[in-house]
A = this chain, B = another copy of it.
Amino acid sequence: MYTFDKSLAAFRRAQQVIPGGIPGHLGPTEGLHLPNDGFPKFATRAQGARFWDLDGNEFIDWMCGYGPNILGYNDPDVAAAAQAQAKKEDVVSLPSTVMIDFAEMLVDQVASADWAMFAKNGGDTTTLAIMTARAATLRKKVVFVKGFYHGVAPWTQKLDYPGVLEEDVANNLYVPWNDLDALRTLLSENRGEVAALISTPYMHGNFVDNQLPAEGYWQAVRKLCDEHGVVLIIDDVRAGFRLDLAGSDHYFGFEADLICFCKALANGYNVSALLGREALKEAVSSITYTGSYWMSAVPFAAGIATQRKLRELDAPALFERLGTRLTDGLTEAASEAGFTLVASGAPALFYLRVADPADSLMLHQDWIAECVRRGAYLTSHHNHFLNAAVTEADVDRTVEIAADAFAALRTRHPAVV
């Protein structure tokens, strides 16, 4: 059984100089690493579908850096493309034409897109999308779908979060997921005032079972947006390229006006992109929007190599097949041990919840921690991610680990069994 003594010692060292030790979604502060001593804190090496932690433990990694790792860590083809570009240039006083090559590739590949603009964070693209919609419509309000996450800019946070003002969120409206009646009512009540609707392609929020769109949902949303002159923004930062290389809007049979990509664009090389339709090209051009490293050439070269390889592998089909094999195996292992495990969302980004004999967050967390201690890196309240370096053997080994973890759970929680 794995122990994490060196990780925990390093974490205490980190806390001295970094607020929270490990801030954000990779750290324990967001409550994703519970029980806290059941998770490693630092990695030292990553290759393919695996990483190794500071204590020397090896993990089959189902989090993929929370998305960026889509081909496998340190993919040789992407690394070669990045290194070749790095020898020429990266951040210079002028961009490289590799930026154009990547834009042309994405515009060709993503069904709804006529143009591409690059940035660094997913949140850079959601903010640019909102500003573009406001510039194009001269309206202020934005519809969010409850359970949303579109980055950390103040406009996409909540009023009770520290540092957020009422002015930041004054123009935000909210509807439940999959609720066309609520959306119809909201748009009617705010007729002529709504600039945009922003949503992920399906509801892959944290701490809840993930929900796919109901039959006809997106087609109806598209129609409502058209009727009300509302810009339809799809935040494909998390799901992008795992469901469909032409965009998750294409996967669900509709066309976004603006679509935001980040994590899986370049297999971990640092780039994000806002893609959009011709009608919004002038509006997006009018926004003052730039950043220190936004035209760095290495991530563009890495992105081209990544997208090419994803096409060659037909990666979304691979993720669907391996993700289904894994979630089927996990739910069966649960069942054999007398538990009910609910897998939700797309298999490429599966979400897990232990539902029975107790629908308890703590029970679920303990099961996840038992898996982690045995070498399957899962997390408790966030969707997981597939990558193309995963093998059937990795899936089967993970199912074995899960079964052992359920057995351990019986011992740790005798009362619930």
Decide yes or no whether A353 CB sits under 8 A from chain B.
Answer: no
A40 interfacial contact with B, CB 8 Å = yes
Q: Is A412's CB within 8 Å of the partner chain B?
A: no
Residue A171 at the chain B interface, CB threshold 8 Å: yes
Counting CB contacts under 8 A, is A159 at the interface? no
Is A173 among interface residues, defined by CB-CB distance under 8 A? Answer: no
Complex Cα distance, B268 from A127, in Å, reads 24
Chain A, 240-288, CB within 8 A of any chain B CB: 262-263, 268, 270, 272, 281-288
Q: How far is the CB of A214 from chain B (nearest CB, A)?
A: 29
Choose, from A66-74, A181-189, A222-230, A330-338, the stretch at the interface: A66-74
Interface centre among A89, A92, A116 (most CB of B within 10 A): A92
Min CB–CB distance A274 → chain B (angstroms): 9
Judge whether A392 is part of the interface by a CB distance below 8 angstroms: no
Q: Report the Cα distance A83→B116, complex, angstroms.
A: 29
B-contact bits for A70-105, CB 8 A (1 contact / 0 none): 000110000100010011111111111101100110
Q: Find out whether the CB atom of A13 lies under 8 angstroms from the CB atom of B100.
A: yes
Q: Kindly state whether residue A14 has any CB partner on chain B within 8 Å.
A: yes
Contact between B26 and A291 (Cβ–Cβ < 8 Å)? no
Q: Is A295 an interface residue (CB 8 A)?
A: yes
A162: chain B residues at CB < 8 Å are 131, 134-135, 283, 286-288
CA distance A375 to B114 in the complex (A): 36
Instruction: Identify the closest chain B residue to A293 (Cβ).
Output: B270
- Measured between beta carbons, the chain B residues less than 8 angstroms from A272 are 292
Residue of B nearest to A294 (CB): B24
Sample (29) of A-B pairs whose CB atoms are under 8 Å apart? A13-B100, A14-B97, A14-B103, A17-B115, A17-B116, A18-B116, A18-B117, A22-B94, A26-B94, A26-B95, A29-B285, A43-B92, A43-B93, A44-B97, A65-B92, A65-B93, A69-B91, A83-B83, A93-B377, A120-B120, A122-B292, A123-B291, A134-B163, A154-B155, A161-B287, A162-B288, A268-B293, A270-B293, A270-B296
15 further contact pairs, Cβ within 8 A, besides A43-B92, A121-B121:
A13-B100, A18-B99, A24-B295, A26-B94, A41-B94, A42-B95, A46-B90, A68-B91, A74-B90, A122-B291, A134-B164, A152-B288, A161-B287, A167-B171, A268-B293
Task: Return the 5 tightest CB-CB contacts between A and B, nearest first.
Answer: A24-B290, A131-B163, A91-B268, A135-B162, A63-B93
